[in-house]
Amino acid sequence: MRAIVFDQYKSTPVLKEVDRPAPGPGEVLLKVAGAGACHSDVAVYRDFDESFGPPQLRPSFVLGHESSGWVEELGPGVEGFTVGDAFLVYGPIGCGHCRACSRGQDTYCENAATMPYLAAGLGRDGGMAEYLAVPARNLVPLGQADPVAAAPLADAGLTPYHAIKKSLPVLAGGGRSALVIGLGGLGQVAVQILRALTGATVIATDQKPEALAQAEGYGAVTVPGGPDQAGAVRELTGGRGVDAVFDFVGVDPTLALAMSVVALQGRVTIVGIGNGSYAWNFYGVPYEVELTSTYWGTIEELHEVADLYRAGKVTPQVELFGLDDGLEAYRRLEAGELNGRAVVIP
Ligand code: NAD
Ligand code: ZN
């Protein structure tokens, strides 16, 4: 079968012929419906090498860590699935039996250090291919909902959902606000999730006017980039600052923006792996501001995200590419030329 493979550090992935996977014990083989191209893949093939990045992410493996598909074949010992049914794939794959994994939190598997991979599409073969084999316990049912547009939910939906859920306490109480920085694949879904789960004013910013227009369509108030960005954001909060900031870029200027607009007792979540730095100072930020990073989410949360999708409250904006054009999807992602999420359909 054809697949998009990360086969060498610091170089563009390649489209090539690989063996069709056979589902192992406890696994299910899916015929892939769609696989999203995430900006984290760019870090995998551009930034990482033997000395930088998680050791589980060495080449080679098939990319695609947010995927969906239809059941094609059941591996040994698997029962209870019907061929042809549509599922979203929960990407993270931990040991499956530690305390974290038993809570559905494979992202924080206690045995991660000795696992040979992190996730389907991150260290083991992912969904940028015609077929994908994953543990049956990683499947989230989609019912009758369209699996193609659903694919980005597995990361571009789940990651902001997890971060937003953890920030809900600071968004409760009335008159609250949230700021989304970076309105790409994840950021556009973040705006929709904030609107679905809270009554807070959602402020959004990006350098691209089309991205601002899209976020406005989801109900955000937008602020363009530029010299008085922080002032404009503060003004929208009546001067009190933003209760929950989500930075989907994570470079020095976005961290500085986040920390300059956050409210007293607010929370800043850095989602983007731009690897920026921020010099904290006691009097430099309001009291009791929390600054945290985040990583993906739990399978329980992915079930909740699938519910929001089926209810029509969260719908990723997708641009579709055939497998033959998958490399073009990554090129456009790197060039900042996509609107929403690129989904590769085999
Ligand atoms: P994307 O390329 O689709 O979107 C990035 C957006 O940020 C674009 O719209 C771009 O115009 C905008 N942007 C870039 N620089 C900006 C700036 N200085 N100010 C404002 N906007 C700016 O990327 P994505 O796939 O949505 O991923 C976003 C980030 O989240 C990436 O760094 C990715 O690696 C990371 N990520 C983290 C996790 C996690 O678990 N922490 C999971 C998935 C992705
Ligand atoms: Zn585990």
For 11-25, what is each residue's pLDDT tens digit? 999 999 999 999 999
Query: How far is Cα 203 from Cα 235, in angstroms, rounded to an integer?
Result: 11
Determine whether the shortest distance from the Cβ of 205 to ligand 1 is under 6 A: yes
Average of per-residue pLDDT values in the chain: 97
- Does residue 71 register a pLDDT over 90? yes
Residues 168 and 141 in one domain: no
CA of 141 to the centre of ligand 2 (A): 22
Residues 306 and 222 in one domain: no
For 207-219, what is each residue's pLDDT tens digit? 999 999 999 999 9
CA of 19 to the centre of ligand 1 (A): 32
Q: Which of 208, 271, 292, 318 to mutate to test the pocket of ligand 1 (most atoms within 8 A of CB)?
A: 271
Stretch 117-135: mean pLDDT:
98
Residues 307 and 289 in one domain: no
- pLDDT for 127: 98
β-pairing, 14-17 vs 318-322, is: unpaired
Determine whether the shortest distance from the Cβ of 6 to ligand 1 is under 6 A: no
Determine whether the shortest distance from the Cβ of 186 to ligand 1 is under 6 A: yes
**Of the candidates 293, 308, 332, which is a domain's last residue?**
293
- pLDDT for 226: 87
Residues 287 and 303 in one domain: no
Give the number of the ligand closest to the Cα of residue 258.
Answer: 1
CA of 40 to the centre of ligand 1 (A): 9
Residues 33 and 87 in one domain: yes
- pLDDT for 163: 98
Q: Please count the structural domains in the chain.
A: 2
- Contact by Cβ (8 Å): 68, 148: yes
CATH number, position 64 = 3.90.180.10
Residues 16 and 145 in one domain: yes
Closest CA to 158 of 193, 127, 130: 193
CATH number, position 234 = 3.40.50.720
Residues 253 and 129 in one domain: no
Query: How far is Cα 188 from Cα 99, in angstroms, rounded to an integer?
Result: 33
Query: Please, which pLDDT band fits residue 144 given cuts at 50, 70 and 90?
Result: very high
Give the number of the ligand closest to the Cα of residue 273.
Answer: 1
Query: How far is Cα 228 from Cα 218, in angstroms, rounded to an integer?
Result: 24
For 314-325, what is each residue's pLDDT tens digit? 999 999 999 999
Nearest CA to ligand 1 atom 29: 272
For 298, the token pair is 């739990």
Residues 282 and 309 in one domain: no
CA of 289 to the centre of ligand 2 (A): 31
> What is the DSSP-derived secondary structure letter of residue 176?
-
Asked casually if ipTM beats, i.e. exceeds, 0.85, the reply is yes
DSSP 152-209: GGGTTTHHHHHHHHHHHHHH-SSS-EEEEE--SHHHHHHHHHHHHH--SEEEEEES-H
Residues 126 and 269 in one domain: no
For 233, the token pair is 């954001």
Residue range(s) defining the domain that contains residue 324: 2-155+297-345
For 328-337, what is each residue's pLDDT tens digit? 999 999 999 9
- pLDDT for 227: 87
- Contact by Cβ (8 Å): 135, 326: no
Nearest CA to ligand 1 atom 30: 272
Q: 3-state DSSP call for residue 191?
A: helix
Residues 87 and 149 in one domain: yes
**Of the candidates 258, 274, 293, which is a domain's last residue?**
293
- pLDDT for 6: 98
Determine whether the shortest distance from the Cβ of 207 to ligand 1 is under 6 A: yes
Q: 3-state DSSP call for residue 213?
A: helix
- pLDDT for 336: 95
Determine whether the shortest distance from the Cβ of 333 to ligand 1 is under 6 A: yes
Residues 254 and 287 in one domain: yes
**Of the candidates 276, 293, 310, which is a domain's last residue?**
293
Residues 103 and 141 in one domain: yes
Q: What are phi and psi of 143, to 5 degrees?
A: 60, -130
